[in-house]
Chain A
Amino acid sequence: MRFSKWARRMPALVLVALGFSAASAAWAHHSFAMYDNEHQVKLKGKVTDFQWTNPHVYIELEGVDQYGEDKSVKSWTIECANPGILDRIGWKFNMIHKGDEITAIVAPLRSGEPGALLKQVTLADGNKFTNGVPAGPPLIQ
């Protein structure tokens, strides 16, 4: 079911009202300004690679935009934080595998290329993980 844009942005407004974004400023390997945080996308699909490396962990996903008009499968490169940040919030280097069905809320590249910054991933077993404080929270569900 498709949410209205307004409904999808409600959590964002609430978080802003709480000053969450100001309180959560933290370091990242590089600027995240190339990602469009205001137009987050929910992707669902199959993992083709999970790369646990510095300076970033990457998920390669054959995913479909759950709220978009275009329902075709696209190859997404999803940037995660670094192994240290993720370790410290409970991720494990082997918790995602090639072939896993996952759902990812991401901030896509402003350029329109199929790359994105992870906000939250839901694993096949239903467990949810954020991408750490620097990447910021998901603003849609």
Chain B
Amino acid sequence: MRETRSDTNVSTGLRSRALAMAAAALAVTMIAAPPAHAQAQSAQTSAAKPQEQPKPAPKLAGKPDFTGVWDRQAVPVQPNARTAGGSAQSPNGPQFAGTAPPIKPEFKDAYDAEVKRLADAEKRGEPATSQNTMCLPQGMPAMMLAIFPMEVIQTPKQVTIIEEAFTQIRRLYIGEDPPKVEDAEPGFYGHTGAKWDGDTLVAETVGLKTNVLYRNVPHSENLRIHERLKMIDADHFEDEITYVDPQYLTGPWTWKWTYQRRNGYKMLEYVCEDNREFADPVTGQQRMRFKTKPDNKQ
């Protein structure tokens, strides 16, 4: 039946390589399939305008302008994909847009074991907690999943991306290189430099906390995330994302997400104000906190 999913995770405080997987144990589980609203809008659009030719992308200072509100588009289900570990955008899920992460052999067993542990917990109905359970944002690159609408604001020198969920914000500085890793204060979103390669905005991000994980894939402080952002037409753009981390990966790990314009939408605020999910201190499982129940067993 419904599969719930670990897609991104963040743990707090654990930094060593040996504990990276254990960190994931405390930090996973969110469903991350294409947003329903994106699918619905897509269906409406194609039904309403079957014959219309796509319009060219708008321009700003001679370059494509990504400004607007966007929904990520659905990724086709891969019929032969392994689904252990959950559905949606999970590491082995049927809707993941890329290949399996090329994790080095010395880390692969621990990674596989962790994905299996989380999947088994889900199947038992005893899900592990996640960064979301702790009201933490997804960070990069998971915020580009655009689980809720995503606003892009572009000026000639900067692209600012705002994800409605958790009010996540990142800034791509056009014409700049990313800082050196040793100068980049680690964070959830990192530090991004970007340059134009023709009509493609090529971005590079460094400075990601090693406990901000995507699909449970471990990374070092030297992780570099490359992106190629390209307008397809006036109402669609794509972001090709590549993980490069020679410490943990045997090669680049690449996938592509596409986005569809959501016309007329005004972004909502999102403050994680009253999170009632918590990690059981004994089992680590996700549980519900009750406010005033006399039979509350917390």
Contacts and interface: CB of A to CB of B under 8 A. Distances in A.
Contacts of B36: 24, 26, 132-134
Contact of A27 (B126, B145, B270, B290): B145
A120 interface: no
A129 B232 CA distance: 36
Contacts of B20: none
B125 A34 contact: yes
10 contacts: A16-B1, A26-B34, A30-B129, A31-B128, A34-B127, A36-B125, A54-B274, A77-B291, A84-B165, A113-B297
B241 interface: no
A24 B87 CA distance: 11
Contacts of B287: 34, 111
A30 B291 contact: no
B87 A25 contact: yes
A34 B87 contact: no
A33 B125 contact: yes
Contacts of A79: 276, 288
Nearest to B164: A84
A8 interface: no
A55 B132 contact: yes
Contacts, number: 132
B288 A32 contact: no
Interface of B: 1-6, 29-37, 77, 87-88, 95, 121-130, 132-133, 135, 145, 147-149, 164-165, 268, 270-277, 285-288, 290-293, 295-297
A26 B35 contact: yes
Contacts of A83: 268
Contacts of A37: 1-2
B272 to A, nearest CB: 5
Contact of A54 (B29, B30, B271): B271
Interface of A: 16, 21-22, 24-34, 36-38, 51, 53-56, 58, 60, 75, 77, 79, 82-85, 87-88, 109-111, 113-115, 132-134, 136
A114 B88 CA distance: 29
Contacts of B126: 33-34
A80 to B, nearest CB: 11
A55 B135 contact: yes
A78 B47 CA distance: 36
B164 to A, nearest CB: 6
Nearest to B298: A113
Nearest to A117: B288
Contact of A25 (B95, B132, B145): B95
A16 B2 CA distance: 10
Contacts of B124: 33
B219 to A, nearest CB: 22
Of B6, B123, B165, the most chain A CB neighbours within 10 A belong to: B165
Nearest to A110: B125
Given A27-B88, A34-B286, A55-B275, A114 B293 contact: yes
A31 B30 contact: yes
Given A34-B287, A55-B135, A136-B2, A27 B30 contact: yes
Nearest to A82: B270
A33 B251 CA distance: 34
Given A30-B30, A34-B288, A55-B132, A84 B268 contact: yes
